[in-house]
Amino acid sequence: MLHYYIWTIGCQMNKAESERLGSFLEQNGYQPTASAEEADLILLNSCVVRQSAENRVINKLNALKSLKRSHPDITLAVTGCLVDANISQLNEKFPQVDHFFKPGEYPQWLGKPERTQALPLHPPPSVYVPIIQGCNNFCSYCIVPYRRGREKSRPVAEIVGEVRELVHRGVKEIILLGQNVDSYGHDLSDKPDLADLLSELNIIDGLLRLRFLTSHPKDMSPKLIEKIARLDKVCEQISFPVQSGSNDILKAMRRGYTVEHFRQLVAEIRSKIPGVALSTDVIVGFPSESEEQFRQTFNLLSELRFDTIHIAGYSPRPGTSAARELVDNVPADEKRRRLNLIEQLHESIATDINAQLLGNTVEVLVEGKNKGKWQGRTRTDKLVFFSDNGEYTGQLVNIRIDKTSPWSLQGQIIPNTIN
């Protein structure tokens, strides 16, 4: 029996692609193993969106050198955003690697697909479904369009068929994925949009919840906001990266919107979708970001009070226009100071938002057990833990919250309210 081991870092798209690669390999006779040493095939699904992620990939590749030396029969393959067009250069740099292949590809040597998009036979309750690959935006700091290519949407019928099959296999929640899901469909002949796709998916019997990420502020339409508000399975949660609170920095980032427009969109979303949870992404220390421009970001985040803030220090990515044209002139310790300030702000806002849920009853989709406790999420994507002797994986349960922290909630199951 052949064994595979997959190591994944990076975004949800990488996680989704690793899940599918695993299923694909299982359809081709492999079994998963939790240790690289026991594997016949090791797959690294890489991320290079920041230097820190790239360093982790390189460290992992270096660590695998001796294993490969002592077990030359192990196949070592790398996919994800480390893989650029210049494979021969990668081969030279990492001779221990047998194969490099682009994200989303299924090279012939991996096996024969039952379908190109291999679906898990026994999926968890919540599954990622990529709906659009690549990105056309070319934000000045971002390497993704260079590594994942231009936007390519999957046809509505293909996605609907796949979701029906996943629901048939027991899935309750679908998370639609794309670098920019709001531009879904513009490249398809009949030009469906994300709102149309959500309408088609919302009517699938047995599906309980729909989510999608990531939205781009320049492409968030009033039609989509209306649809999220109206469709019962679409959760009240939007991933909405602002990146900066300074118009000058947004322009240098080539984001295509202003702070005023972003603020207006947030107000519209909140007025049309009561109780909506918003998460955002922010980069601090972008080239020439002044203290005043950083303060504008800090103040915008204090004002808009996102449920979640993903924060990163700017990391120049070779090949991007920012790396070519702008000087990375905010010192590392200053980036760290700005990052810490936003992390503290995030913790204090998340503490307040979650504390408001104390004593409330929330609907939780149970994902499974973690360290002896049941774990699931609310429609607003809050992580909830509870203890009980029953079996709840994949069920919707009502939980009365009796403890909150910035990062999770705990509570008691309310009997006789299980769906």
Closest CA to 378 of 215, 209, 200, 265: 209
Helices (H), 184-276: 194-202, 222-230, 247-253, 259-272
- Based on the shown chain and the rule CB under 6 A, indicate whether residue 133 belongs to the binding site for ligand SF4: no
DSSP count for the chain of H helices, then E strands: 12, 18
Tell me how far apart the alpha carbons of residues 6 and 77 are, in angstroms, rounded to a whole number. Answer: 10
Q: Of residues 30, 94, 141, 385, which one binds ligand SAM by CB under 6 A? A: 141
DSSP assignments along 28-81, one per residue:
TTEEE-S-GGG-SEEEEEE--SSHHHHHHHHHHHHHHHHHHHH-TTSEEEEEET
CB atoms < 10 A from the CB of 405, how many? 13
* Binding residue (CB under 6 A) for ligand SF4 from 8, 14, 126, 179: 179
Residue 154 backbone class (left: φ over 0; alpha: ψ -120 to 50; beta: rest):
beta
User: In this chain, which of 78, 83, 118, 144 binds ligand SF4, going by CB under 6 A?
Assistant: 144
* Contact call for residue 11 and ligand SAM (CB under 6 A): yes
Q: Which does 338 bind (CB under 5 to 8 A by kind): ligand SF4, ligand SAM, none?
A: none
Residues 258-297 that bind ligand SAM (CB under 6 A): 281, 283
Using CB under 6 A, pick the residue from 111, 113, 124, 145 that binds ligand SF4: 145
Tell the smallest beta-carbon distance from residue 237 to ligand SAM (Å).
Answer: 16
Out of 3, 209, 211, 216, point to the residue binding ligand SAM (CB under 6 A). Answer: 216
Tell me whether residue 249 is exposed, middle or buried, using C-beta atoms within 10 angstroms of its C-beta: 0 to 12, 13 to 18, 19 or more: buried
Q: Find out whether 27 and 118 touch, Cβ atoms under 8 Å.
A: yes
Choose which of 23, 46, 214, 354 interacts with ligand SAM (CB under 6 A).
Answer: 214
Q: Which is nearer to ligand SF4, 215 or 404 (CB)?
A: 215
Q: Determine the distance from the C-alpha atom of residue 125 to the mean position of all C-alpha atoms in its chain, rounded to a whole number.
A: 17
Our finding on whether 138 is near ligand SF4 (CB under 6 A) is: yes
**Structure tokens of 308?**
């979640």
Q: Could you tell me which of 156, 136, 155 has the C-alpha nearest to residue 145?
A: 136
Alpha helices per DSSP H over 178-241: 194-202, 222-230
Contacted entry of ligand SF4, ligand SAM, none for residue 172, CB cut-off 5 to 8 Å set by kind = none
Residue 280 lies near ligand SF4 (rule: CB under 6 A) = no
Q: Which does 130 bind (CB under 5 to 8 A by kind): ligand SF4, ligand SAM, none?
A: none
Strand pairing partners for 5?
Answer: 42
170: contact with ligand SF4 by CB under 6 A: no
- The count of chain residues that interact with ligand SAM, using the rule CB under 6 A, is 18
Size of the site for ligand SF4 (CB under 6 A): 10
Contact 8, 43 (CB under 8 A): no
Q: How far is the CB of 135 from ligand SF4 (least distance, A)?
A: 3
Cβ nearer to ligand SF4, comparing 281 with 388: 281
CB of 249 to ligand SAM, least distance (A): 12
50, 209, 227, 379: which one contacts ligand SAM (CB under 6 A)?
50
SS3 (DSSP) at 345 = helix
**Measured between alpha carbons, how far is 136 from 152 in angstroms, rounded to an integer?**
10
Among 142, 220, 266, 283, binds ligand SF4 (CB under 6 A): 142
List the single partner that 145 binds among ligand SAM, ligand SF4, none, CB under 5 to 8 Å by kind: ligand SF4
Choose from ligand SF4, ligand SAM, none: what does 39 bind? Cβ within 5-8 Å by kind: none
Q: Which does 117 bind (CB under 5 to 8 A by kind): ligand SF4, ligand SAM, none?
A: none
Cis before 361? omega within 30: no
Q: Contact residues for ligand SAM (CB under 6 A)?
A: 11, 49-50, 141-142, 144, 179-180, 214, 216, 241, 243, 281, 283, 312, 314-315, 317
Q: Contact residues for ligand SF4 (CB under 6 A)?
A: 135, 137-139, 142, 144-145, 179-180, 216
